[in-house]
Amino acid sequence: MEDSARSSFVQANACVAVLLAVGLCASCSSTPDQPQVVKAEKPFASAGRIEMQLDGGSYAIHPGADDRIRVSFGGNPGMATAELTVDGTHARLAVKDTPHNNFQAVVEVPKAADLILRLSGGNLEMAAITGNKDIESAAGNAEIAVGNSNDYASVDATVKVGNLSGGPFGDAAGGLSPHLTWSGHGKYTLHAKLGAGNLELK
């Protein structure tokens, strides 16, 4: 049994190493980084809902200086496109056809917004944004600033293979597949799911 457990542990760590190596390769490029260029921009009311479908790459999501959604590409943008539509208090963003090396994007949103985000793989860095959050990524590293933990009613976070840091919500349970559940007295919910890699709530 000990040999079996050790073998599973080695295989899981190997899986993480491979995926992280892929992520590192994706962040490297022999071509010079291109400066950030705005690819899509529209006004959007604060406290609305924004759905994002994102092809692989490195993404930074943070509040902008005004009530707008603004999408900028940098690094190696390749032939990537940004499709942004707004219908009242509901917005949809799709980033498609990203290259496999060193694609970078910055998405600015209002300071208060409900976010639904699906990332096919890569790195995600999200600054503190007030609202509900539903975030899923297949693989890579995700760093999510939660703001005031007292704003949340429930938190549900899982990593299939890798590490999970709960930050203000405490330690995660489990070994190879850590998970975290937390309940509070706020009004927002946070759901975060990562296939393989490192997930940090802070």
CA distance 35 to 83: 20
Q: What is the pLDDT of residues 105-120, one digit of tens each?
A: 999 999 999 999 999 9
Q: What is the pLDDT of residues 146-158, one digit of tens each?
A: 999 999 999 999 9
Q: Residue 78 is encoded by which pair of tokens?
A: 């390749």
CA distance 64 to 121: 24
CA dihedral 16, 174, 160, 151 (to 10 degrees): -120
The radius of gyration of the chain's CA atoms, rounded to the nearest angstrom, is 18
DSSP assignment letter at 30: S
pLDDT at 35: 86
Write phi, then psi, for 195 (nearest 5 degrees).
-70, -55
Cα angle 28-60-144, degrees, rounded to a multiple of 5 = 115
CA distance 200 to 6: 26
pLDDT at 80: 98
- Which of the residues in the chain have pLDDT under 50? 1-30
Nearest to 191 by CA among 137, 111, 124, 128: 137
pLDDT at 152: 98
pLDDT at 20: 43
Cα angle 57-62-63, degrees, rounded to a multiple of 5 = 150
Q: How far is CA 173 from CA 58, 111, 140, 154, 198, in A?
A: 28, 31, 20, 16, 15
What are the residue boundaries of the structural domains of the chain, listed by start? 2-201
pLDDT at 26: 41
